[in-house]
């Protein structure tokens, strides 16, 4: 949709698209400063079918300049390897994030939970 607005829109629409993409990049950069919040969200809103309250190392994927599904970034194994190795090399000096959340998507699992996690963000 943003491509269509850029190609067929007037100058005002084109400027809007430029600002939206710049905002996306800013938000993606800001997420790097608080990955704990993204980890919390993943625990809190995980699906009931695959619910687990286990410690995790998350690898988050995001495009800085696009709102597309970032699953294709899974193919950038070298970029992922570099980010994971960087994080693992610092793991002794990096405290794990202690996540507290209340799970309520499944009545059989409902309740307060605590877990430890750590993560990296891989971008384009």
Q: Is 117 exposed, middle or buried (0-12, 13-18, 19+ CB in 10 A)?
A: buried
User: How many whole angstroms separate alpha carbon 39 and alpha carbon 76?
Assistant: 22
pLDDT digits (tens, 9 = 90+) for 26-60: 999 999 889 999 999 999 999 999 899 999 999 99
Q: Where are the domains of the chain?
A: 34-123
pLDDT digits (tens, 9 = 90+) for 51-81: 999 999 999 999 998 888 999 999 999 999 9
């Amino acid at each position: 949709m943003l491509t269509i607005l850029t190609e067929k829109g007037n100058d005002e629409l084109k400027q809007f698209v430029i600002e939206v993409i710049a905002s996306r990049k800013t938000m993606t950069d800001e997420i790097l400063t608080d990955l704990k919040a993204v980890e919390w969200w993943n625990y809190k809103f995980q699906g009931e079918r695959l619910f687990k309250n286990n410690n995790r190392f998350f690898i988050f994927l995001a495009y800085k300049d696009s709102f597309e599904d970032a699953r294709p970034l899974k193919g950038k194994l070298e970029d992922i390897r570099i980010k994971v190795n960087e994080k693992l090399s610092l793991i002794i000096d990096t405290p794990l994030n202690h996540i507290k959340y209340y799970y309520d998507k499944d009545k059989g699992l409902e309740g307060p939970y605590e877990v430890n996690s750590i993560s990296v963000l891989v971008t384009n």
